[in-house]
Structure 1
Amino acid sequence: MARLSHTSLWMFMVFLFSSYCTAKTVTYDFNVTWVTANPDGLKERKVIGVNNQWPLPVIEVNRGDQLVVNMHNGLGDKNASIHFHGMYQNGTNEMDGPVMVTQCPVPPGATFTYNFTVNQNGTYWYHCHADYCYPDGYRQALIVHDNKSYFADQYEEEFTVTVSDWYHELIEGIAPDFLSVYNPTGAEPIPQSFLFNDTLNSNLKVKPNTTYLIRLINIGAFVAQYFYIEGHNFTIVEVDGVYTEPTEAEILYIAIAQRYAILLTTKNTTDTNYPIVTIADSVLLDKIPSDLKLNQTNWLEYNAEAPHPQADITVEVASDLNPHDDMTLIPHDHMPLLPDPDYTITLTVNMENLDNGASYALLNNISYTPAKVPTIFSVLSSGSLATNSLVYGEFTHPLVLNHNDVVEVILNNNDGGSHPFHLHGHTFQLLDRAPSYGPTFYDYKDGSPVSYDAFNHTAFPQYPMRRDTFVLPPQGYFVIRFVADNPGVWMFHCHIDWHLSQGLGLLFIESPQQMQERLTIPQNHLDVCRVGGIPTEGNAAANSVDYLDLKGQNAQVGWLPAGFTSGGIVALVFSVVSAVMGVAFLVVYGLSDLKFKGKGGGVVEGSQGEGAGKEVGSTTVREAYRDNGDEVR
């Protein structure tokens, strides 16, 4: 074994000492509560705030810091958690945040402590990872500063910019109509507006001839957005926490959960303010209401007294824009293409109607359904059976990975929509995708699905870009590769929150034996499970006696009988609607002329009797039958 020279040993000790001295503990105390807000000026509504404020605080740390977040659930009527999106959580899988995966839901009145070391840098965010939670406002930026980045001396100031879609109703109120027999096509609810730093018509105040670092994060639940600044190019220097070779660009496509950091040098003038343009990807929307504003203008403000012009948008639809292709970026560290995989996983996305008539999302015909025991606890309590995927149930779609395996994931899309897939605990190399961003991105949508052919594909990049969220094109595919060097239970899922609620995800059970050796669950986490009545040992069915007996496990909705199709369901639903409405109208019409004698021999008009046909005609039918949120009339 080679020995360190005295000089090298001294430098190593200095590095350790300096790192120890500069690292600190950063503590946030979050009381998660309901507050009211009106970010688009169109409707005041309840949102999830922190310490009675909204927007939420931006979490800011330096690399090497210990981050502690004490989260108290003060909502009163909803479970909660926090996922620190993009944090590797190496050695701290229990701090990752998705409920029933790495922790129990935090019930109202309980407190849960997240505590981990941040050994990475870049642009991230945090959000609730419980059912229908973060679109109600429980999301914000998380920034890891790095004064040693290769571009640290190239900018004077920095901005953090979030973009998001916004709903005027609580998600728990919208969700039942979405995942319902009355929405058999699975059409996603349409947001009412699109926000820029949780507001509209805002300014980034800049000085002339100055370089700024701008961090861009899509913290929305559904819709990707295009981003550009009129009259300015910029330089991409980071993607999802991975530094890139400096790359000039004009337009970015920022899907849900994706992040970019760009360097922007201002002009040597103060005469004009320039529109910062964000355009919602309207192709994702099944319909576009007439009052929905897809294009937003905010401003790069050189002079507060100068005019603030609206953006000059010449494209007919946003998909005509040509954003920079993230596949062409090169990581600054020049990490080479990983070797041939030890384990290749081929998955196919399908959207199907199941036995209850609602539309579900599936990977290889499995719609993700959480287990009765958080999967991390099944790993830790199953002993030598931890490497057996049966322990984790059929419907969590568990895939067990060996320690340090090179894993390749081939993801084919049989659906006509795009899906931004996120992998917890890792970044992954981007090997191939078809089609690419730009005018051809939606080319496959109206044709037949095109699957990846391992014997006929473009050459993989020498230095593939890495990121943690990557867009699967409509009816196309992508290929990614990573090393299973981070023991833990990690979700791989579409980050469109509606699609995750439909089941578009699975679990990687990575190095379960190493998990048993290295992980210790804090007592606080176990206490929260006890308060919520959730077991902390056993298999997916909560059986702690026979880990291979899955009787009683949570299961996905069953399959439709043979011969039923989405079109058939639509026809059936609206046939029933028509029939019920027809009967209702006949009843109302018939009773309106019905006359009968009362006890005193007088004539009573049937239509004047209390509720005579009125309830069926005007209330029950309207409330019972809906088409994508619109009342049947």
Structure 2
Amino acid sequence: MLSVLSFAALSFLATSGFAKTVVYNWDITWVNASPDGFSRPVIGINGQWPCPTIEGNIGDRVTIHTRNMLGNETTSLHFHGLFQSGSNSMDGPAGVTQCPIPPGAKFTYDYTLDQPGTYWYHSHNKGQYIDGLRGPLIVHDKDAPYAEQVDEEVTLTLSDWYHDEAPGLIHYFQSVDNENNHNGAEPIPKGALMQDTQNPKISVKPNKKYLIRIINMSAFAGQFISIDGHQMTIVEVDGVYTVPQKTDQIYITAAQRYSVLISTKSDASQNFAIRAAMDEEMFDTIPADLNLNVYGFLVYDSKKPLPTPTPLTTFAAFDDFALVPQDRQRLLSKVDHQILMDFDFINDNGINRARINGVSYIPQKVPALYTALTTGSDATNPKVYGTNGNAFVVKPGEVVEIVLNNHDGGGHPWHLHGHNFQVIARSGENAGTYPGNAAAPAIPMRRDVVMVRKGGYVVIRYRADNPGVWLFHCHIEWHVEAGLSATIVESPMELQKSLRIPSDHMKICKDQGIPTAGNAVGNTANHLDLTGELTTPEVPYGALINPPKKPRSNRVARNFVA
């Protein structure tokens, strides 16, 4: 039975001394696991899977010494939702802020926990977290607005799960065969997991207040979740404390997080089901043997029987657009820099590729951060990051507005590294492009992942107060591989003054023959000469042909309630 953590004990740890250094020594290894009864290789840490939780208090320093022991794959780690203020080189996406870690190599991540809340970590390299390299990251805060109410807390993860390994699935997703015969459809998971297993049991006590941190670690599927017999009160999303909001059901996209409070019953006379269901509208087809649901249990008394859950089939999730941040940060009303991103999918020589403003993202020869640090004043010119680097340069202190227009027939959860953002406007499905006149909330909801509904738009704003090279991408991992990403280069001249790359980071690049200076192709003499830049994605396999692109299927709208 899964244990819970006493909030009082956590508060004591947070107040009993000065900030500490939390050190992890991790070998990234292959492990066999069968979370749904099917045994397959997964990527674990120190020979164990599920992967461990990173945990600390505000102000703690985290040092993670990694060694890639996979043998046949490069790797990296991204600490999702952490701003990495002053430590951009620790952000983790391979080809953006670091070189991939080759087999046998060592690499250290070192940063300070300066944001409270619920986060997670995962590989940011060739879809690898699909194969299991992912885990919670929790930052405790004795001054949290809900702290005095909480007796104990638990972290609850959701995910979709595949039986085939990610490289083969990615190859098929971007194959001519898939484009011809399946309209370029994303691989459908074999099922869903809760706590990286199925039917987990969470022990609770009567008359207590629990904080439940919910993380969706899926590669694809959004999920609905409810707890039978218990109303949830939302108090945090994506590391942002919110004014408490009661709800019976939450919709959580891939990569989003929610913290909720629940009050347990006054007696231990029965146990209750936790029910979650993958959002089937995201899938082009529903295999006959696919179980969209996964269950867990609040166990008041282990001697009493567990209930028989019924599938979650009624969907009326709380609309997160109605959330209000606890700090009541007002609308950033004066926009200094607007970035328009129209995105869609096309047939690119027989391969399903994503585009932003007509350009499909392709990692370049030099990681974008290293280009920003080594090209002097030319670092402010987006051209030096390569045509397919999809780079947008913003100045210090600017209020940046990004308009996302979704020309695709499916929804997309977009994530910004290095910041959270105000959600200024979000349309329903098939609303067309942003008209430019939507009324914005006076105190907008703020988070770091937002769903752009099919055929609709989202508008976000944030202040450029964190110099760095920050990836902005759809968090459906299949779409990342298809090129649905952009690079936000923020205050590169300030970055050049403040950031130095550790020697072990540079060593893994040198050992792989990856250049670490100059423009996207490593040209240090003429930064605007991009001869040899990467403009064509690697073709996984299959002959190059040009079949007509069929439209995605129409999906039925879900209901969201405020």
Shorter-chain TM-score bucket reads over 0.9
> Per-residue deviation at 1:313?
4.0
> What is the letter of the counterpart of residue 426 of structure 2?
R
Secondary structure of 1:385 counterpart: helix
Match for 1:565 among 548, 559, 562?
548
Aligned mates of 2:273, 2:550 — CA distance in 1: 44
> Per-residue deviation at 1:270?
1.4
Match for 1:519 among 485, 499, 502?
499
Aligned mates of 2:285, 2:415 — CA distance in 1: 26
2:402 is the alignment partner of 1:409: yes
> What is the letter of the counterpart of residue 91 of structure 1?
G
2:468 is the alignment partner of 1:472: no
> Per-residue deviation at 1:269?
2.1
Secondary structure of 2:531 counterpart: coil
2:328 is the alignment partner of 1:330: no
> Per-residue deviation at 1:562?
13
Match for 2:285 among 287, 297, 301?
287
Aligned mates of 2:455, 2:342 — CA distance in 1: 10
Secondary structure of 2:168 counterpart: helix
Asked which structure has the greater CA Rg, the reply is: 1
> Per-residue deviation at 1:564?
6.2
> Per-residue deviation at 1:154?
0.4
Structure 1 residue aligned with 2:432: 450
Match for 1:434 among 424, 427, 443?
427
Per-residue CA deviations over 1:191-211 (Å, capped at 9, x if unaligned) read 111100011111111111111
Structure 2 residue aligned with 1:39: 35
Aligned mates of 2:550, 2:229 — CA distance in 1: 48
Match for 1:48 among 40, 43, 47?
43
Aligned mates of 2:125, 2:146 — CA distance in 1: 37
Structure 2 residue aligned with 1:181: 176
CA contact (8 A) 1:297 1:310 kept: no
Identity of aligned residues (%): 46
Structure 2 residue aligned with 1:212: 210
Aligned mates of 2:463, 2:322 — CA distance in 1: 21
Aligned mates of 1:187, 1:53 — CA distance in 2: 33
> Per-residue deviation at 1:236?
0.5
> Per-residue deviation at 1:351?
0.7
More helix as a share of residues: 1
> Per-residue deviation at 1:220?
1.1
Structure 2 residue aligned with 1:350: 344
Aligned mates of 1:522, 1:404 — CA distance in 2: 27
Structure 1 residue aligned with 2:127: 132
Structure 2 residue aligned with 1:371: 364
CA contact (8 A) 2:176 2:545 kept: no
Match for 1:399 among 382, 392, 395?
392
> What is the letter of the counterpart of residue 432 of structure 2?
V
Structure 2 residue aligned with 1:359: 352
> Per-residue deviation at 1:345?
1.1
Per-residue CA deviations over 1:475-531 (Å, capped at 9, x if unaligned) read 111110001110000000000000000000100010010010110111111111111
> Per-residue deviation at 1:545?
1.5
Aligned mates of 2:220, 2:87 — CA distance in 1: 29
> Per-residue deviation at 1:44?
0.7
Aligned mates of 1:251, 1:492 — CA distance in 2: 28
RMSD value over aligned CA atoms? 1.7
Aligned mates of 1:124, 1:201 — CA distance in 2: 23
Shift in CA distance, 125/563, structure 1 to aligned 2, threshold 3 Å = closer
- What TM-score, normalized by structure 2, do the two folds share? 0.92
> Per-residue deviation at 1:358?
1.0
Structure 2 residue aligned with 1:13: none
> Per-residue deviation at 1:19?
9.0
Aligned mates of 1:248, 1:218 — CA distance in 2: 20
CA contact (8 A) 2:276 2:312 kept: no
Structure 1 residue aligned with 2:83: 88
Aligned mates of 2:60, 2:489 — CA distance in 1: 28
Runs of 4+ in 1 over 4 A off after TM superposition: 18-21, 561-564
CA contact (8 A) 1:19 1:64 kept: no
Secondary structure of 2:178 counterpart: coil
CA contact (8 A) 1:368 1:556 kept: no
Secondary structure of 1:182 counterpart: helix
Aligned mates of 2:15, 2:471 — CA distance in 1: 32
Aligned mates of 1:567, 1:470 — CA distance in 2: 27
> Per-residue deviation at 1:21?
5.0
> Per-residue deviation at 1:170?
0.8
> Per-residue deviation at 1:24?
0.6
Aligned residues: 530
